[in-house]
Chain A
Amino acid sequence: MSADAASSPVHLEDEYLDEQSRLEKLLGPEWARLLKGIVTNPLSVAGLIILSCFVLVALFAPILAPPINANWNTTLIPRDGFIAQPKPPGTPWERNKPETIPFWYGITGHDDWVHLFGTTSGQYDIFYGVVWGTRTALFVGSLVVTSSAIIGILIGATAGFYGGWVDEALMRLVEIFIAFPFLVAALILASILVPIFGRSIWPASIALIAFGWTGYARLLRGDILSTKERDYVQAAQASGARDIHLITRHILPNAIYPTLVVLSLDMGAIVLSFAALSFLGIGVQEGYADWGQIVSFARSWILTLDQNWYIIVFPGLALLLYGMGWNLVGDALRDILDPKMRGR
């Protein structure tokens, strides 16, 4: 009774699985394609390499830039005195230098601690700030993006799935948030939050979350609106599935991909916004290991940047590479998920 089934050869479950389909069995066709695309696309490989370097720097921060003693609060940059004049790279470290010299220090050509990247005004060690700032960037980036994505996904999914007045109400709410320019709104909210939370990463992070979720909500809502009309969603509904089952099993897994692209791009963008807030002096306390903070030390020396270039070049380079890494990965993701690029 079934010619098309009979004509296909009968094989046992595992016989026909080659390597690629093993990956596919494990992850599903879409994730497998995504993973395969990401590790074969040269641009995304470059991005991944850059990002893994940052992760390694963050992981090995205590070896790369040891805190000056075991009890040191590692988020604070050690300072070599209080003189306003920045010192160029290679200046010997006089006060407050780390107790131990790491094994790799020989390759710098110095026997004792020097300021490898120089110091800012106030004698904060730039090398320490850049290295430990990587942890801040990764932490703030993941925290802000994850939190705003969760809020955005919850709100976008609710609005898209239920439609009607729920959708109207939530989308008007989103529009209220979008009406304010992102950075200005975050700046104002962060400065309101500083007296409440004190100077730390929290005011700026919360402000970025508060105004950052709207993009995900809007994007996801649109994709859910189109996905929920698909026949397989109707089929599950006809089988008696609950709403939560429809959303988590059928709609979200098929609608989430554009949001993932934006999410990966935002991982870089958020750190830039955070640095911008830091640069403007809203957020972390002075001396906190954060790239934006170090750049902000260059403000008073803006006229002599030809001599004090190192204050902005090293943290600026870190910001640039970090943002570029996420952009490369995000762009590659977008290409892989673009339906027009399918099958290439």
Chain B
Amino acid sequence: MSQSNPNKDKEVLVRVTNLKKHFPIRRGVFRKQVGAVQAVDGISFDIYKGETLGLVGESGCGKSTAGRTILQLLPPTDGKVYFGQKELTDLNRGDLRRQRRHMQMIFQDPYASLNPRMQVGSIVGEPLQIHGIGNAASRKERVQELLSVVGLNPYFVKRYPHEFSGGQRQRIGIARALATNPSFIVADEPISALDVSIQAQVVNLLDDLKSELGLTYLFIAHDLSMVRYISDRVAVMYLGRIVEMGERDEVYDHPLHPYTQALLSAIPIPDPDKEATRKRIILEGDVPSPANPPAGCRFNPRCSYATDICRQEDPEFRNLGTDTHSHMVACHHADKFL
């Protein structure tokens, strides 16, 4: 975002620069490193205060790893994450721990993210207890308040997670994430494990909470319609890189990257007549292994527009937007889709 930055008047809450997360592959008796899975390989973006940034991509593209690395749940291989004025990768353990009350996470699987041996009250109140916020009585009050905020009966505090449905459990997970009044929440596919009928409820809850509490979300998902519904801006990930990022409607209505175009063409249209004429772009082949990504543009083996330059040169992540909105894309041929 060097040349014109239409978002410069907005306050940046989270700035990610060139973030990398490589998982070493070790072999043999001496556990020698023979390679690395480049799960996240140099992503950069800003998240502005009060917005929802949707991060989409297919399974295994590194979007969950990106979310966890931003929160420093996984130590990054390289790159920096600024949260407000603080640089998270430079903080020592104690400072990072204290910083965590301002940034929380909502997990994908509501059956795995709640400790089965803890009562709901302890689960939701745990972040308060960890950060020494309030006393036992005020914490109990806060937990009951949180439960009603997420639409659960406050009297559920003494129940165990197994007594709840998936949707209710996800609400408990949301209540826990809200406990310390964080400003930033990474929602890691918060609805993909839920029944379709419950998904809308949870997404609406997240949306309501955002406006009521002034939250900022990084919303990770693979459900494109859901991301369009909740996000202000959207970033599309492919094989550890961000290939396109911009205002929601801009990306959805005028996708500039062939991968985004293919993804969006897969969304069914809830109108039989239009659906019948919908043109789908079928991608050939599989996602290459992130341990051995292709040279040049990472999408080139599956791209119908690929030319020699795509196989040799890594495309720059550049802004093709206007003064009023930015639209970043990493494609040599993006200009012809304008």
Contact = CB atoms under 8 A, between A and B. Distances in A.
B155 A239 contact: no
Q: Which of A12, A235, A241 has the most CB of B within 10 A?
A: A235
Contact of B100 (A8, A239, A245, A249): A239
A238 B112 CA distance: 15
Contact of A4 (B68, B104, B198): B198
A5 B116 contact: no
Interface string A216-247: 00000000000000111011111111100100
Interface in B148-172: 150-153, 155, 158, 160, 162, 165, 167-168, 171
A172 interface: no
Given A4-B198, A242-B97, A29 B117 contact: yes
Interface string B176-207: 10011000000000000000001001001100
A231 B153 contact: no
B131 A2 contact: no
Contact of B117 (A6, A30, A231, A236): A30
Given A4-B198, A10-B153, A250 B168 contact: no
A209 to B, nearest CB: 29
A219 B338 CA distance: 60
A239 B180 contact: yes
Nearest to B147: A5
A253 interface: yes
A1 to B, nearest CB: 6
A231 B204 CA distance: 24
A29 B162 contact: yes
A246 to B, nearest CB: 10
Interface string B199-242: 00100110010000000000000000000000000000000000
Contacts of B103: 238
B104 A238 contact: yes
Contacts of A13: 155, 158
A253 B116 CA distance: 10
A107 interface: no
Contact of B205 (A1, A12, A230, A240): A1
Give the size category of B's interface with A. Answer: 35 or more
A4 B112 contact: no
B58 interface: no
B115 A250 contact: yes
A11 B162 CA distance: 18
B126 A236 contact: yes
Contact of B160 (A4, A29, A253): A29
A3 B167 CA distance: 10
Given A4-B167, A231-B112, A235-B173, A240 B127 contact: yes
A181 to B, nearest CB: 26
Interface string A282-303: 0000000000000000000000
A28 interface: yes
A306 B116 CA distance: 58
B71 A28 contact: no
B162 A235 contact: no
A31 to B, nearest CB: 8
Interface string A239-263: 1111001000110011000000000
Contact of B204 (A1, A11, A232): A1
B165 A4 contact: yes
Contacts of A254: 115-117
B167 A238 contact: no
A240 B99 CA distance: 8
A4 B109 CA distance: 18
Nearest to B100: A240
Given A2-B152, A4-B201, A29 B73 contact: no
By Cβ-Cβ distance, the 4 closest A-B pairs, closest first, are: A2-B151, A240-B100, A231-B113, A239-B127
13 contacts: A2-B201, A3-B201, A4-B167, A4-B168, A4-B201, A24-B160, A25-B158, A29-B162, A234-B68, A239-B176, A240-B130, A254-B115, A254-B116
Interface of A: 1-6, 8, 10-13, 24-25, 28-30, 230-232, 234-242, 245, 249-250, 253-254
